[in-house]
């Protein structure tokens, strides 16, 4: 009993990386009167800088694939040169040197094409094609992460708003109780202790309200940060904490996660890509067959005279200072590391799915229990207030009843937040788009 404080802590277990707003400086912050969770997600997908980084990574992987494919195509080069020579030329020891000046001109068109390299190019193309697909999946994963973080921040802000409402009701009730205690003291029905106790209770309620309002401001800042924009003015949330049923079994959730989670698919593809690179690196021990052709124009003056030559080259690597062996070993080590990362990610996904699944189920049960607790606390407060008004109850009993009701309401709000946040994390862990 006594002067207990109402808990107003807002859960902020939001596992995110903080990014600076991506809104261009020349564009003023948007004005919002209201904000739904869907609109918040849309704004984040438009402005969050992590998505631009993911798109840049996809473009980089696409460019790498283009470079790998370039070996399939012929190489065409054009060159031209002009020179002037002036000086003494010795043609024979018995003949005096001759001073001579002349110009020379040449131009060439050279074509080269790799005919066969025993799968070296094919392995690189296959690997880079896989890396591009993995980058696209990573981009999807970054998008899903932004969506999840916005939804979590939105629910944190909704929770903070409801906690503020609870504490405002507590201040209102404490204010009425103080007025009542002063009235009873004036007519001699209550001791001065009741007035003092009511003043302390009102001060405690105001402290809790200040803390709750600050949590609300922090929640708004956090939501704007994960959206990547900072709207001008205030805005009201149109969506509140609610219950969305989730009936999937745990085994079904795990199976769906293995088939749909973009990170797992990306990791598997990267394993295959590194295996292709290892094969491509080993193929550097094998010969390369290529064709070439050159058309040349040259003379000491104009017009130039032409000639051409063409042929086939077979290059057999004999010894390159163990460079190829080192590349093969490095590629195989990268493939082993990719397989280990895939196994580790699978275990992490299993843990993530199981944890959030259990929290969703537990939170659903806690919501029902907390709702009953709120109902009982309201009845207890009504009874204690009637007893105090009738002169048979004490001020401590009335204060405790109000604190119990406030704590019960906050417990219910916390259970609602835990359910919604865990459901968002579970859907993300499974690979189901929550947008």
Helix (H) or strand (E) holding 276: helix 262-282
342: tokens are: 């895939």
In this prediction, residue 7 carries a pLDDT of 42
Give the pLDDT confidence score for residue 230 in this predicted structure: 87
Query: Looking at residue 134, what is its pLDDT?
Result: 94
Rounded to whole angstroms, the Cα distance separating 163 from 176 reads 20
CATH no. for 34-97+116-288+321-430 = 1.20.1600.10
| Predicted local confidence at residue 101, as pLDDT | 85
Q: What angle do CA 156, 360, 417 make, to 5 degrees?
A: 20
Residue 286, pLDDT score: 87
| Cα gap 21→179, rounded to integer Å | 48
Is residue 326 within a helix (H) or strand (E), and if so which, with residue range?
A: helix 323-390
Higher pLDDT, residue 269 or 247: 269
Cα–Cα distance measured from residue 165 to residue 181, given in angstroms and rounded to the nearest whole number: 24
Distance (Å, whole) CA 356 – CA 428: 10
Tell me the H-state helices in 109-191.
Answer: 120-186
Give the DSSP per-residue string, 411-428. HHHHHHHHHHHHHHHHHH
Res 127: pLDDT:
92
Tens of pLDDT, residue by residue over 152-211, are: 999 999 999 999 999 999 999 999 989 988 988 888 888 888 899 889 999 999 999 999
433 pLDDT more than 50: yes
Question: Phi then psi for 3, rounded to 5 degrees?
Answer: -90, 70
Residue with tokens 């990170």: 263
Check if the beta carbon of residue 289 is closer than 8 Å to that of residue 313.
Answer: yes
- Dist. CA 190–CA 321, nearest whole Å: 99
Cβ burial, residue 135 (10 Å; 0-12/13-18/19+): buried
How many CA atoms, within 13 angstroms, populate the side-chain half-sphere of residue 146?
Answer: 28
What pTM does this model have? Answer: 0.81
Q: Determine the Cα–Cα distance for residues 380 and 400; give it in Å rounded to an integer.
A: 10
| Domain layout of the chain by residue ranges | 34-97+116-288+321-430
Q: Where does the pLDDT of residue 94 fall: very low under 50, low under 70, confident under 90, or very high at 90 and above?
A: confident
Integer distance in angstroms from the first to the last C-alpha of the chain?
A: 46
Instruction: Give the long-range contacts of residues 19-28, CB within 8 A, separation 24 or more.
Output: 19/48, 19/49, 19/50, 19/225, 19/226, 19/228, 20/49, 21/47, 21/224, 21/225, 21/228, 21/229, 21/230, 22/47, 22/48, 22/49, 22/52, 22/228, 22/229, 23/47, 23/228, 23/229, 23/230, 28/232
Q: pLDDT of 124-156, one tens digit each?
A: 999 999 999 999 999 999 999 999 999 999 999
Query: How far is the C-alpha of 251 from the C-alpha of 363, rounded, in Å?
Result: 20
* Residue tagged 């009235």 (tokens): 183
Asked if residue 78 lies in contact with residue 109, where contact means CB atoms within 8 angstroms, the answer is: yes
Across residues 326-335, what is the average pLDDT?
A: 90
**Residues 212-260: tens digit of each pLDDT:** 999 999 999 999 999 988 887 778 898 888 888 888 899 999 999 999 9
> Mean pLDDT of all residues in the chain?
87
- Mean pLDDT for 302-312 is 92
pLDDT at 352 over 60: yes
pLDDT tens-digit series, residues 95-133: 778 888 889 999 999 999 999 988 888 989 999 999 999
Q: What confidence score (pLDDT) does residue 295 get? A: 94
Alpha-carbon distance of 223 to 40, in angstroms, equals: 9
State the pLDDT at residue 112.
94
In a 13 Å sphere around the CA of 79, the CA atoms on its Cβ side amount to: 10
Please give the pLDDT value at position 307: 94
CA dist., res. 311 & res. 307, Å (int): 14
CA distance 177 to 2: 16
Phi-psi region of 321 (alpha: psi -120 to 50; beta: other; left: phi over 0): left
pLDDT digits (tens, 9 = 90+) for 13-64: 444 333 333 344 445 567 778 889 999 999 999 989 889 999 999 999 999 9
């Amino acid at each position: 009993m006594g002067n207990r404080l109402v808990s107003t802590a807002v859960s902020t277990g939001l596992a995110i990386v903080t990014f600076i707003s991506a809104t261009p400086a020349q564009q003023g912050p948007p004005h919002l009167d209201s904000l739904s969770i869907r609109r918040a997600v849309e704004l984040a997908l438009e402005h969050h800088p992590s998505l631009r980084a993911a798109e840049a990574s996809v473009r980089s992987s696409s460019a790498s694939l283009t470079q790998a494919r370039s070996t399939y195509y012929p190489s065409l080069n054009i060159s031209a040169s002009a020179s002037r020579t002036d000086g003494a030329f010795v043609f024979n020891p018995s003949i005096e040197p001759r001073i001579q000046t002349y110009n020379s001109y040449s131009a060439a068109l050279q074509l080269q094409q790799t005919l066969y390299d025993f799968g070296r190019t094919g392995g690189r193309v296959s690997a880079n094609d896989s890396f591009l697909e993995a980058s696209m999946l990573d981009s999807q994963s970054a998008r899903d992460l932004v969506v999840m973080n916005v939804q979590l921040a939105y629910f944190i802000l909704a929770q903070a708003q409801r906690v503020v409402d609870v504490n405002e009701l507590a201040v209102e009730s404490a204010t009425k109780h103080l007025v009542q205690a002063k009235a009873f003291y004036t007519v001699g029905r209550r001791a001065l202790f009741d007035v003092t106790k009511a003043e302390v209770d009102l001060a405690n309620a105001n402290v809790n309200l200040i803390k709750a309002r600050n949590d609300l401001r922090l929640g708004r800042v956090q939501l704007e940060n994960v959206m990547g924009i900072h709207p001008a003015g205030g805005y009201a949330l149109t969506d509140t904490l609610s219950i969305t049923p989730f009936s999937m079994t745990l085994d079904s959730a795990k199976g769906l996660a293995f088939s749909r989670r973009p990170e797992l698919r990306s990791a598997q593809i990267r394993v295959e890509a590194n295996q292709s690179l290892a094969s491509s690196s080993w193929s550097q021990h094998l010969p390369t067959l290529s064709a070439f052709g050159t058309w040349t124009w040259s003379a000491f003056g104009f017009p130039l005279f032409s000639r051409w030559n063409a042929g086939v080259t077979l290059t057999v690597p004999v010894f390159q200072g163990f460079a190829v062996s080192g590349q093969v070993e490095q590629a195989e080590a990268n493939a082993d590391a990719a397989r280990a990362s895939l196994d580790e990610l699978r275990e992490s996904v299993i843990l993530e799915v199981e944890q959030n699944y259990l929290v969703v189920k537990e939170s659903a049960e806690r919501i029902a229990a907390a709702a009953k607790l709120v109902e009982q606390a309201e009845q207890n407060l009504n009874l204690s207030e009637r007893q105090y008004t009738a002169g048979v109850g004490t001020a401590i009993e009335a204060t405790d009843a109000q604190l119990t009701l406030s704590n019960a309401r906050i417990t219910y709000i916390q259970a609602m937040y835990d359910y919604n946040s865990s459901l968002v994390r579970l859907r993300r862990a499974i690979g189901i788009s929550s947008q």
